[in-house]
Amino acid sequence: MKLVILDRDGVINHDSDQYIKSPDEWRPIPGSLNAIARLNQAGYRVVVATNQSGVGRGLFEMDTLNAIHDKLTKALALAGGHIDAIFFCPHTTADNCECRKPKTGLFREISTRFNVSLIGVPAIGDSLRDLQAAATMGAQPMLVLTGKGNKTKVDPELPAGTPIFTDLAAAVTHIIT
């Protein structure tokens, strides 16, 4: 099975230091939805692995998170694409859970749910924790410079051999060519 794992905020949609707290605040990064559609057309299953601590912080409820994901799904369908599953961590750092990236709980759940090894699977993110979780699981971390990417690219803890792309569209072109 061909699989790609994507972070959400800063990769698919614009990020905010104040969190994406409503469907109105969710805005796709130009080219990201078409990039996901291109992955689908090339036979890839696409899943999202996203930390959503705004739920745990009480900034928004699960209904709101579901509405945000519904907006993502509908916008993506209009671009001719789809996401096979969305895995999220609703916890804060203080909860010390296993699913909050850079821990690997979300990635282990993806592996279990799809019954696939993540060795070499492209995992695209904009923050160090996205890339660390991917590398720990043997996936191929890929950094995009959207979102927090420009800050992340100079982090000394960036996993060795992480390719860097301007945005999701550029990363997808690399994957499918």
Which residues are catalytic, by number? Answer: 7, 9
Q: Calculate the alpha carbon distances from 163 to 41, 49, 125, 174 in Å.
A: 23, 19, 11, 10
Q: What is the rounded distance in angstroms from the CA atom of residue 95 to the CA atom of residue 84?
A: 28
Q: What is the rounded distance in angstroms from the CA atom of residue 85 to the CA atom of residue 5?
A: 10
Cα 86–chain centre separation = 9
Closest CA to 41 of 49, 50, 33: 33
Determine phi and psi for 134, rounding to 5 degrees. Answer: -60, -50
